Amino acid sequence: MTPPAGSPERKLGSLDVDAYLADPSRKQAFVTPMFDIIAPRYDAFTKLFSLGMDAGWKRRAIAAAIAVAPGARRVLDLASGTGDVAAQLARALPQATVEALDASPRMIDAARKRLESVDADVSARVTPMVGDMMALPQERANIDMVSASYGVRNVPDPAQCVREMARVLRPGGALVTLDFYRPGFAPWRALFLWYLGVAGNVVGWLWHRDPIVYGYIARSIRDFMTADEFSALLRREGFEVVSVRRYLFGGIAQHVARRVT
């Protein structure tokens, strides 16, 4: 079924995606509506695109962060999406409260719906909120752990996002990120981006009648950094990189870091 005139899908499909991604002042105007569109099928999409591996990657990322800050009492989950990581963090850290922040109102609606189906103790300690990763509402040095899954790549200014994460973390606080990165090995990079581009276009067309909805992912990776470059960015912004775990030959990576300055 073709999206009706005026719908988010039709509006998104009319945009010049490359122009929006190349202009930091306009990137968020593309990304937020895109995530509003995919929110109802986001969990199915991540499972499909990761060939079922996404859940395991997130579990390992959470465990690695807890190893750095096992006593965390205040946790901030950025790009929280449908709230799966936020709920897992609350379950794994029974002493902690979790603030689940996302730029997409429809994603936050999905997170609230998810929390209705989890244990009351878990849902009571998770607070979903709409917000900007580059201008966090949390106070300085007030958070024990920050997590961000597939988030930094989507912001207009990744360095500003990392600075904000450093600002809100207490000294010694833990940061864990999981994201797509541009693979360093050129032949694999070409194949990886080709697969994501083709698969994204097909799924976008089948689910939304708009290939751009998921075809965006390959374009965003093409213009993003490598996992090593992200490690260097973390160090420049006052983090000690504790560990880096790569998946899919560097196409996905988990970074665990500790705020030291």
77 annotated to bind ligand? no
Cα–Cα distances in angstroms (integers) from residue 259 to residues 139, 222, 230, in the given order = 15, 29, 15
Give the C-alpha separation, 187 to 174, whole Å.
Answer: 34
46 annotated to bind ligand? no
- In 3-state terms, what secondary structure has residue 166? helix
Reading the block at residue 48, the tokens are 């499909």
32 annotated to bind ligand? no
Q: Are 100 and 77 in contact (CB under 8 A)?
A: yes
> Cβ neighbours of residue 23 under 8 Å, at least 6 residues apart?
none
Question: Which helix (H) or strand (E) element contains residue 164?
Answer: helix 158-168
Among 149, 90, 137, 81, which residue's Cα sits nearest to residue 113?
Answer: 81
Give the C-alpha separation, 131 to 100, whole Å.
Answer: 9
Going by DSSP bridges, is the β-strand pair 252-259/239-247 parallel, antiparallel, or unpaired? antiparallel
Residues marked as binding for S-adenosyl-L-methionine?
Answer: 82, 102, 132-133, 149
Residues marked as binding?
Answer: 82, 102, 132-133, 149
